[in-house]
Structure formats: structure tokens, C-alpha cells
């Protein structure tokens, strides 16, 4: 799980994001009375603890006239396949326009897949002022009002019309970041597509960004309950899991298959498996196998038995 904690205590500042630590320490009375020592400990075990990529800003739209399409690119690297825990956390847009109902905003992935962020919303109102599109926002942007400051779900009515007309028949929120871009490689050039399709008013894109994280829903792994087995028994462990596309299995025994076969159990042991999916997300489970130490009577034991009789 990715965790971010901000602690401020006097002159100490800690910022912890999974296993990334940024520690700022103020040291007094060492060489100088106000010497600041910054120690950076960067453990890159969780690279997606909120990676933000900035798109090209400072663009008028349309570039000329009062009708037209403007595309702003955003280069993304090191994210990989989307899905599972690896998700788009948000797309943040800051733009000015004097008639919001005249414009449409779309997000286009490197492979051309797109989602409708907002189209024909806001009427005669102005601007999208730091509008944060998030799947987990409380309301859809269609229920918002200019300047749309804050968190909103993408409109997501349709994913067929990149250019106008933009149909309003679909249910808002049908298409989300999660179900639109699942399985897509995020590395490459993303585009914010701005379409001003009504004459007279114009706009200006100040800035925009896209943030990825690994805080999405994780899958589960289940090795079943602990097992008690007789000495010499054979046991098979199956790494049942809900990963959409599992790509790897890693057992603490060094095996890398979905099942682990243990022949001729002679000792108790603990077995762990870690499953990796196509997005690089992982989940683990552990099971304990106990060897039953209770001895059982065997036919050969008859010769070892003593019968003691007493006379009345």
C-alpha cells in the first residue's frame, strides 16, 4: 500500500511516500548557527507513489480564429501498463474561456484511446479553474458549474465522438479512467484535446497535468487454510488469485509456477507466494503446513505387543 504522511514538528519535516523518504533536518551549532543539512534517501521500490507529468501550457485555443481544435501533448515515461493498482489518479486542467458551453475537453492516450472529460458544460460561464478530474470524485462534471474548481468525475458519456457533435444521450460516468484505459501502456505522448466548436468566444490553456499512482484496487491471492499432513504425504498448493492478467508467481522455495507440489512431507514449513499482474502490481499469501507427529498403529506392530494376563 502506498502511504503519504506529512509530519511537521518544530524544525523537522518528514515526507514519506511508501519507501521514499525525504528528510530535512536543521542542525544548529554545527559549524554555523543556521546550517541546514538535507538528507535524501530515495528507495525506488514504489515508483508510482504519485507521478505527475505536465503537459504543454500557454496555448491559445483555437490557435487562430474562433473555431478550431488545439492539442497539447504530455510525455509520460516509466509508468507501464495501466490496470489493477496502476491507475490514472487525476487529470488537472487550468484554462480560461469566455463561454464554457462552446468547448469540449478530451484526454487521448498514446494508442489513440480517449475519454470525454467534459463537453458542452457550463453554458455562458467562464473557465475551468484548476479542475481536477478523478474517478473517485463525489460528483460528475455535468453537475458542476463554472469555473469548475475542485474534483469532478469525467463526463464519460461516450467514447465514439472525438469531434462534435457530442451526444448527450449516454449516462454520465459510463466511461471512467479505469475502464477506458485498462490494459493500455501509459508510456508515450498523451494529449489534451480542446475543441472550440462555436464561433465568437476564445480561450487560453494555462496548464494541465496527468498523475498516475499505484493506489488502485489490488487483487487477492489465496493459498487456502493451513494444512496438517501426515509424514510422507504429498501436498499441492495452488495460488488462486483474482489478478486480471497474472504474469508471474514467486514462491519462497524458488519455484515460479501457479502451483507448488511438495512430495514426501517430512517437516513442518511455511510457504509464501507473490503474484504479479500485467501492471506490475503484486499481492501475496502465506500458508503453514504442519507435519502430524501422532504415530499410527501398523499391522507390523502386532509382534511388538505384550499381553499381560492375571489369574483370578
pLDDT of residue 208: 98
* pLDDT exceeds cutoff 80 at 149: yes
C-alpha cell at 153: 468525475
* pLDDT exceeds cutoff 80 at 20: no
The percent of residues above 90 in pLDDT, for the chain, comes to: 69
The 10s digit of each residue's pLDDT in 26-77 is 333 333 334 333 333 333 334 446 899 999 999 999 999 999 999 999 999 9
For the beta carbon of residue 169, count every other beta carbon within 10 angstroms: 6
pLDDT of residue 9: 28
Averaged pLDDT score across all residues of the chain: 82
The 10s digit of each residue's pLDDT in 136-146 is 999 999 999 99
pLDDT of residue 60: 96
pLDDT of residue 295: 53
pLDDT of residue 3: 29
**Of 33-47, 157-171, 226-240, minimum mean pLDDT range:** 33-47
pLDDT of residue 13: 29
pLDDT of residue 245: 85
Better pLDDT: 295 or 217: 217
The 10s digit of each residue's pLDDT in 211-225 is 999 888 889 999 999
The percent of residues above 70 in pLDDT, for the chain, comes to: 78
Q: Please compute the mean of the pLDDT values over residues 230-253 and round it to a whole number.
A: 93
Task: Please name the residues in contact with 309: beta carbons below 8 A apart, sequence gap of 6 or more.
Answer: none
* pLDDT exceeds cutoff 50 at 276: yes
pLDDT of residue 6: 29
pLDDT of residue 34: 40
* pLDDT exceeds cutoff 60 at 168: yes
Q: For residues 190 and 69, is the Cβ–Cβ distance under 8 A?
A: no
Residue recorded with cell 524544525: 11
* pLDDT exceeds cutoff 80 at 207: yes
* pLDDT exceeds cutoff 50 at 10: no
pLDDT of residue 244: 80
User: Which domains are delineated in the chain?
Assistant: 4-42 (no CATH), 51-213 (2.60.120.260), 221-292 (2.60.40.10)
Strands 114-119 and 188-196: unpaired
pLDDT of residue 16: 35
The 10s digit of each residue's pLDDT in 100-119 is 999 999 999 999 999 999 99
pLDDT of residue 173: 97
Q: Please compute the mean of the pLDDT values over residues 276-280 and round it to a whole number.
A: 88
Better pLDDT: 88 or 17: 88
CA 1 remoteness from chain centre: 10
Amino acid at each position: 500500500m502506498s502511504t503519504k504522511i506529512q509530519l511537521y514538528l518544530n524544525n523537522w519535516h518528514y515526507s514519506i511516500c511508501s519507501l521514499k523518504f525525504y528528510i530535512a533536518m536543521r542542525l544548529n551549532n554545527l559549524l554555523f548557527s543556521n546550517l541546514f543539512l538535507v538528507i535524501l534517501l530515495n528507495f525506488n521500490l514504489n515508483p508510482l507513489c504519485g507521478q505527475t507529468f505536465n503537459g504543454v501550457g500557454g496555448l491559445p485555443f483555437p490557435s487562430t480564429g474562433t473555431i478550431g481544435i488545439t492539442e497539447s501533448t504530455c510525455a509520460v515515461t516509466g509508468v507501464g501498463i495501466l490496470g489493477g493498482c496502476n491507475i490514472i489518479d487525476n487529470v488537472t486542467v487550468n484554462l480560461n474561456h469566455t463561454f464554457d458551453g462552446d468547448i469540449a475537453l478530451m484526454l487521448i492516450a498514446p494508442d489513440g484511446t480517449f475519454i470525454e472529460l467534459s463537453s458542452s458544460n457550463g453554458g455562458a460561464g467562464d473557465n475551468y479553474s484548476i479542475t481536477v478530474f478523478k474517478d473517485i470524485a463525489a460528483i460528475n462534471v455535468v453537475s458542476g458549474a463554472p469555473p469548475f474548481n475542485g474534483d469532478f468525475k469525467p463526463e464519460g458519456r461516450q467514447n465514439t465522438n472525438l469531434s462534435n457533435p457530442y451526444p448527450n444521450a449516454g449516462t454520465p460516468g459510463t466511461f471512467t479512467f479505469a475502464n477506458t484505459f485498462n490494459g493500455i501502456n501509459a508510456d508515450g505522448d498523451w494529449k489534451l484535446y480542446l475543441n472550440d466548436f462555436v464561433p465568437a468566444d476564445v480561450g487560453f490553456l494555462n496548464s494541465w497535468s496527468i498523475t498516475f499512482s499505484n493506489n488502485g484496487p489490488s487483487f487477492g491471492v489465496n493459498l487456502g487454510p493451513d494444512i496438517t499432513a501426515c509424514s510422507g504425504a504429498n501436498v499441492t498448493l495452488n495460488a488462486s488469485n483474482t489478478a486480471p492478467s497474472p504474469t508471474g508467481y514467486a514462491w519462497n522455495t524458488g519455484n515460479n509456477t501457479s502451483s507448488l507440489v511438495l512430495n514426501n512431507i517430512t517437516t513442518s514449513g511455511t510457504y509464501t507466494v507473490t503474484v504479479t499482474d500485467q501492471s506490475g502490481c503484486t499481492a501475496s499469501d502465506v500458508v503453514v503446513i504442519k507435519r502430524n507427529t501422532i504415530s499410527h498403529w501398523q499391522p507390523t506392530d502386532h509382534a511388538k505387543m505384550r499381553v499381560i494376563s492375571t489369574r483370578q
